[in-house]
Every structure is written in C-alpha cells, then in structure tokens.
Amino acid sequence: MATTNGAVENGQPDKKPPALPRPIRNLEVKFAKIFINNEWHESKSGKKFATYNPSTLEKICDVEEGDKPDVDKAVEAAQAAFQRGSAWRQLDALSRGRLLHQLADLVERDRTILATLETMDTGKPFLHAFFIDLEGCIKTLRYFAGWADKIQGKTIPTDDNVVCFTRHEPIGVCGAITPWNFPLLMLVWKLAPALCCGNTVVLKPAEQTPLTALHLGSLIKEVGFPPGVVNIVPGFGPTVGAAISSHPQIHKIAFTGSTEVGKLVKEAASRSNLKRVTLELGGKNPCIVCADADLDLAVECAHQGVFFNQGQCCTAASRVFVEEQIYAEFVRRSVEYAKKRPVGDPFDVRTEQGPQIDQKQFDKILELIESGKREGAKLECGGSAMEDRGLFITPTVFSEVTDNMRIAKEEIFGPVQPILKFKNIEEVIKRANNTDYGLTAAVFTKNLDKALKLASALESGTVWINCYNAIYAQAPFGGFKMSGNGRELGEYALAEYTEVKTVTIKLSDKNP
C-alpha cells in the first residue's frame, strides 16, 4: 500500500525521488478544544481529559472533554448552518467541491504536522502515517471534491400527465463517531462525502486519539467553510457518543468501531428519531491461499494483511486458510517474516510495528494469545509482550488452528496470525462464511475459475484477489452481516449522505 512518492516531470517519473519525510521533533499541540462554529470552546462542564502517547506512555496534553450540553451546542450550530437561505445551502455545488479541494491542499501543506500528531497519538510508524493515512486523506478529499457538482437526480417518465423528477438533497445534520486505529483517515471517509453532498456535521473523534481531528478543524476554518458546517466535540462514548447517537436533531449517524458498540449506536439511533445509520464494524477476515498461488506474494500479503497497523485493522487477515499441499511451507515462510518484523519506536524509519493503542487492548490481545495456547493451537513464534517495553507485543504466529478456537472466532485486533488448513474449495467457502462478520476476504490463486468462484461465493463486502488492503477512494468499502451497514467511498457513499425527494407536477389537462 505504500506509495513511491516519486514526482512526475513532463510525463516521466523523477529518477531521484525526494528523501524520506521527517517528523517534527517537539511538536506543540495547538488545537485541543471543542470546535463549534469555527471557534474553539471550553467544555461546558469545565472538564478535560488527557491523551497519551502509547509508545512512551506519557501524556501528550489535556483536551477539553465534551458532554451532552456541548453536543447540543454543536448541533444548534450545525442546524443553523443548514437553514434554507444559509451561506452553505446557497453555495454552488461546484464551490463545495472547491472548498474540499482547498482543504486537501491544506492537509498536504500540513502533512508532516498531521503525520507527526497521528504517530504521537496512535503509536503507528510515522512513515505509515505519512504515506498511507495522509495519502488516503488527501486522495479521498479530492475524490469527493470532484463529485460535488455531479450528484444528479433524474427526470422520470411516469404514467399520467405529470412532470416527475427527483432532487438529491443533503440529509441535514450528520453525526460521525470515529475510531482510534486510523483517526484522521476514518474521519475524512465520513467528512468528505457528507460535505460533498451539502450536509453539516457534528463529529466525535476517539478519546484515545483526538488530536489530528482538532488540527483538521483549524484547517476547515482556514479554508473558509461557513461557521457551523463542521463541528468537532472530543469526549467519551457513553457521553458524547451516546448524545450524538440519540440526538433528535441529528438525522444521520456514521460510526466506525467495534460491532459491540455499533449495536448500541444503532439501537440509540432507532429509539430516538430513527436517524439513518451507517456502520463500519469489526471483521474476522478470511485470507484463502490456494495451492496454485504465487506463494511469495501470498505469504507477504497475508503477513502485511494481519500485522499492518499493529494488527489494529478492521480488515485484518485474521484467519489465514491455506490449502494443505502448501501448508507447511506457507507456515514456515510466514514465521520467518514475523520474526523479522521490526518492532520499535514509531519515529524510527526502520520500524514497521509500534505499540498497541492502550492497556485495555494490550490486555485483551494477550488474553486471546493465552487462549490460543490453552486451546491447543501451535505457537510458532512470539506469543507475549516484548519485555518491559510498555504496550509492545511480539509478532505472533499460531498454526494448527481450528475453527472452534477463540483465536479463530473473535476479533483479536493485535499482531497475531492464526493459520488454518483446508482441503478443497467448497469446504473453505463454508468455513470462511461461517461467521457473523463479513467485511473483507482475500484469495490467492492463479486460476481464473477459482478466482471468480470465490469472489462470488464469499460473503464479504470486499474480496481481494492476489492482493491485500487494496483500498481506493473510488471503490466502495463496507460489510456484509454484522461487519456493518452501508458503504463508504466510491459513488456508493453518496447515497448514504443524500435524501431523495420526488417532485411530481400535474400539468393542466386544458390547453394553456
């Protein structure tokens, strides 16, 4: 997924690509308050909460802690910005797109700052934050900027002497609750289509990782989005998250996080005002390696697929099914990879894996690792915390995993690769689909028929063939079953942020 960062000159790639970007040492956090109406506010309660750097375990700074009254204030601002006749409602669609492009420009300008903040707050390697998270943010903003004036309704030939057409209108005030694994990117995945379609938003970034969202707030103000169009309320799930999910004047909510909390969000949404809901939840994603696969490619993709981002991806390849003929060799090569994986300081350019996000996740992962050992999986490497180094866990591989083990059923969200064996395609399809999750799946094969068959049979929102984590702003992403509702990215995302109005005009039956 890494980009080459090579510049293009008159159609030819730059033969000497620029040197690697460097993080900003001793970066000062400028934005740590609640962002409403393009202004920075203290919390109504006066409370603050701390955000920590998971590599050093030190506090980065205090952030204003929002609660229901702050959410109410944000919603008021968002509603006002959405009134008919407001600056935002009257803006040409093309101009909305222009603002999104300009926001992308500023994200590009502040790319190093944002990547540094993201690394401080999440512990992910700085180069990953710079080349993957930030690249995704910029591309997603630009992609949806282009859609703004291409959101088209239809004129429709109905029965009777009427003129019938649809308007594709914005929904109104949209709430978004975003996670800590890709804080800025997951926020942009929601913000871009929401604004592109003309909505106003109230966002809650994860309490573990609020900093990049708040910096983005400053850029939104700098670009010149009208006040109230974007509002950001940092805080906790049971307070701010719950307030947004059940707010009667929020008409749509988008949530990315665990399936467990996703259910709470949907319940609250329904119980309050039946607000529209999109959810991006967990996964226990099958990665199917057939005997005829390009083995090197499969091993590498499966490895990155599960270990990327410290294993903290909803797309993690956390059930690797390998056809029995190549099983032993696959395990051997995967263990080699895992043992070589550089774990360490996320600001070190050699590091591929940083710490887990917090103690709670750390404990959960270790507990699942223990369950793997207890339930009879074969521990091939890793299996414990790195000695005396905070929240770091050694890259762990289990083989001889069977379907009923906890590590084969529950989402681990850590650097643990369970490898299972299969005999034939029909069997692996059943086993891969035998889960309430259905976010992504991957298939490694050279055979055309097998590829198309698996692509069609797997109950997943995304199927990757001979690749992994191939995510693009242009292609929709989302889950089957309990991995989520609705789709983000691509043209499909627009439907989630649009309310369709049908207008039918009766024409006079008399001659005019």
In the structure, how many helices (H) and strands (E) does the chain have? Answer: 17, 21
Site for another protein in 119-148 (CB under 8 A): 143, 145-148
Cα dihedral sign for 425, 431, 434, 435? negative
Q: SS3 letters for 298-310? A: HHHHHHHHHHHHH
3-class state of residue 54 by DSSP: coil
Identify which of residues 270 and 474 has a Cβ nearer to another protein in the complex. Answer: 474
Question: What tokens appear for 230 in the block?
Answer: 């974007």
Furthest CA-CA distance within the chain: 88
Q: Is 507 in the site for another protein (CB under 8 A)?
A: yes
Residue carrying the six token digits 């980009």? 3
Identify which of residues 96 and 421 has a Cβ nearer to another protein in the complex. Answer: 96
Identify which of residues 233 and 463 has a Cβ nearer to another protein in the complex. Answer: 463
CA dist., res. 184 & res. 216, Å (int) = 8
How near is the Cβ of 12 to another protein at its closest, in Å? 8
Terminal-to-terminal C-alpha distance of the chain: 63
What DSSP state is assigned to residue 477?
A: B
Q: Is 149 in the site for another protein (CB under 8 A)?
A: yes
Q: Which of 163, 349, 467, 500 binds another protein (CB under 8 A)?
A: 163
Site pattern 476..495 for another protein (x: CB under 8 A): ---------------x----
How near is the Cβ of 359 to another protein at its closest, in Å? 42
Contacts 24+ apart (CB under 8 A), 373-376: 375/405, 375/406, 375/407, 376/400, 376/402, 376/405
The total of other beta-carbon atoms located within 10 Å of residue 112's CB is: 17
Q: Is 449 in the site for another protein (CB under 8 A)?
A: yes
Identify which of residues 404 and 456 has a Cβ nearer to another protein in the complex. Answer: 456
Binding region for another protein (CB under 8 A) out of 78-86, 167-175, 261-269, 450-458: 450-458
Q: Is 512 in the site for another protein (CB under 8 A)?
A: yes
CA dist., res. 234 & res. 65, Å (int) = 6
Site pattern 429..448 for another protein (x: CB under 8 A): -------------------x
Site for another protein in 11-30 (CB under 8 A): 11
Which phi and psi angles does 301 have, rounded to 5°? -65, -40
- Which residues are within 8 A (CB) of 113 and not within 5 positions of it... i.e. 6 or more apart? 24, 27, 215
Identify which of residues 97 and 170 has a Cβ nearer to another protein in the complex. Answer: 97
Q: Is 156 in the site for another protein (CB under 8 A)?
A: no
Identify which of residues 97 and 305 has a Cβ nearer to another protein in the complex. Answer: 97
How near is the Cβ of 5 to another protein at its closest, in Å? 16
How near is the Cβ of 84 to another protein at its closest, in Å? 19
What per-residue string of b and e applies to 252-261 under the rule 16 or more CB within 10 Å gives b?
A: bbbbbbebeb
How near is the Cβ of 507 to another protein at its closest, in Å? 5
Q: Is 504 in the site for another protein (CB under 8 A)?
A: no
Q: Which of 474, 500, 502, 503 binds another protein (CB under 8 A)?
A: 474
Q: Is 4 in the site for another protein (CB under 8 A)?
A: no
Catalytic residue among 207, 280, 323, 488: 280
Which phi and psi angles does 440 have, rounded to 5°? -135, 165
How near is the Cβ of 172 to another protein at its closest, in Å? 23
Query: How far lies 345's CA from each of 208, 256, 311, 342, 349, in Å?
Result: 19, 27, 16, 10, 9
- The radius of gyration of the chain's CA atoms, rounded to the nearest angstrom, is 24
Number of chain positions touching another protein (CB under 8 A): 31
Query: Any catalytic annotation for residue 459?
Result: no
Site pattern 70..109 for another protein (x: CB under 8 A): -----------------------xx--xx-----------
How near is the Cβ of 101 to another protein at its closest, in Å? 8
CA dist., res. 16 & res. 28, Å (int) = 32
How near is the Cβ of 145 to another protein at its closest, in Å? 7
Q: Among all residues, which ones are annotated catalytic?
A: 280
| Contact residues for another protein, defined by CB under 8 A | 8-11, 93-94, 97-98, 143, 145-150, 152, 163, 448-449, 452-453, 456-457, 473-474, 491, 505, 507-508, 511-512
